[in-house]
């Protein structure tokens, strides 16, 4: 609710070169951030090339080899239908990242624009956006997501929509706070004086300036979006089978933990964790890059 005190109150636009130099500096200084970037590229690779990297067909069952422990031919073992878990984990990357990216992009557009407009124009716009955000915040968020998916049906699109709606207040508030402090900043005044209309100032001057801070938020909510989708799957509101998806795989594998077939849940669980972990660290790293307090 209160904006992050680590974030600066106002900042003049900085040239791209300086930012890049600073980024190199942060990554060089902080091994954790470097690791996060490495992991991110690995995930991206799996998402793009998944079907070609996977050693087996992720959908092909082989009931004779059901629940086989990890081995050379199936390094992550097989599931209850004898499907190769490694292949399923790899192929699932695209879907999971896709859900996260789409939902974050959607909320970025909706929440970001609404928030910027609220902060910039104030008055009624501010009040309406604020009310909407307040109302959503008053909901228990996971249950709201559940309700939306249950009501609209459990498809990928609806999971994306539900995750975006749940994150709306966060984006709207951050964008609003950032836009409000910039409303009267010098460079904004300058843009006005050169004869730009209010909307042009908003979209052309304010929005680009708060993008870095929004990018940090996007990375952090990516992780949450993945967890949210996985949680929905666990409740039984996930994506329809047989598409491989980490959350569903963990939920299905959970039934086999007690009987000793730990690999069914563990590996998708680790992949899920790794992805969320990566996005969280990445968000932190991006914040360091964007945050001038660390730039001394």
Applying CB under 8 A, among 225, 272, 286, 289 the residue interacting with another protein is 272
Cβ atoms of 263 and 76 closer than 8 Å: yes
Nearer to another protein, 167 or 205 (CB): 167
Nearer to another protein, 179 or 227 (CB): 227
CA separation for the pair 81, 246 (Å, rounded): 16
Nearer to another protein, 191 or 273 (CB): 273
CB of 252 to another protein, least distance (A): 9
289 binds another protein (CB under 8 A): no
Which residues 192-231 are close enough to bind another protein by CB under 8 A?
A: 223, 227, 230-231
The tokens for 42 are 């690995």
Cβ atoms of 238 and 150 closer than 8 Å: no
Nearer to another protein, 20 or 152 (CB): 152
61 binds another protein (CB under 8 A): yes
- Which of the ranges 104-112, 140-148, 179-187, 188-196 carries the binding residues for another protein, by CB under 8 A? 140-148
137 binds another protein (CB under 8 A): yes
Nearer to another protein, 147 or 196 (CB): 147
Stretch 62-101: interaction string toward another protein, x if CB under 8 A: -x--x-------------xxx-------------------
108 to 1, 45, 72, 191, 265: CA distances (angstroms): 18, 24, 43, 24, 32
CB of 202 to another protein, least distance (A): 26
CA separation for the pair 23, 28 (Å, rounded): 8
* Interface with another protein: number of residues (CB under 8 A): 67
CB of 155 to another protein, least distance (A): 11
CB of 231 to another protein, least distance (A): 6
247 binds another protein (CB under 8 A): yes
CB of 97 to another protein, least distance (A): 15
37 binds another protein (CB under 8 A): no
Applying CB under 8 A, among 51, 69, 98, 153 the residue interacting with another protein is 153
- Which of the ranges 18-26, 30-38, 112-120, 209-217 carries the binding residues for another protein, by CB under 8 A? 30-38
157 binds another protein (CB under 8 A): no
Applying CB under 8 A, among 38, 44, 255, 292 the residue interacting with another protein is 255
């Amino acid at each position: 609710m209160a904006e992050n005190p680590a974030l600066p109150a106002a900042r003049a636009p900085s040239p791209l070169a300086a930012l890049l130099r600073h980024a190199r500096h942060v990554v060089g200084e902080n091994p954790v951030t470097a690791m996060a970037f490495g992991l991110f590229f690995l995930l991206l690779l799996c998402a793009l090339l998944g079907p070609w990297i996977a050693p087996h067909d992720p959908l092909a069952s082989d009931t004779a080899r059901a629940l086989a422990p990890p081995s050379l031919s199936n390094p992550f073992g097989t599931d209850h239908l004898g499907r190769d878990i490694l292949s399923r984990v790899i192929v699932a990357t695209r879907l999971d990242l896709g859900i996260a990216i789409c939902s974050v992009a959607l909320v970025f557009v909706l929440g970001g624009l609404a928030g910027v407009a609220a902060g910039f124009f104030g008055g009624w716009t501010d009040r309406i956006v604020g009310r909407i955000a307040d109302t959503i915040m008053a909901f228990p968020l996971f249950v709201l997501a559940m309700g939306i998916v249950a009501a609209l049906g459990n498809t990928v699109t609806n999971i994306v929509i539900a995750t975006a709606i749940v994150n709306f207040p966060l984006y709207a508030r951050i964008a609003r706070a950032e836009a409000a402090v910039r409303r009267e900043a010098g460079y904004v005044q300058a843009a006005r004086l050169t004869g730009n209309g209010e909307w042009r100032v908003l979209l052309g001057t304010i929005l680009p300036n708060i993008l870095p801070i929004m990018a940090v938020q996007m990375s952090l909510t990516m992780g949450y979006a993945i967890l949210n989708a996985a949680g929905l799957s666990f409740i039984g509101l996930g994506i329809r089978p047989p598409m491989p998806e980490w959350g569903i795989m963990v939920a299905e594998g959970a039934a086999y933990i007690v009987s000793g077939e730990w690999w069914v849940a563990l590996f998708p669980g680790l992949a899920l964790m790794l992805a969320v972990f990566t996005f969280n660290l990445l968000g932190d790293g991006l914040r360091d890059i964007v945050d001038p307090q660390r730039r001394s």
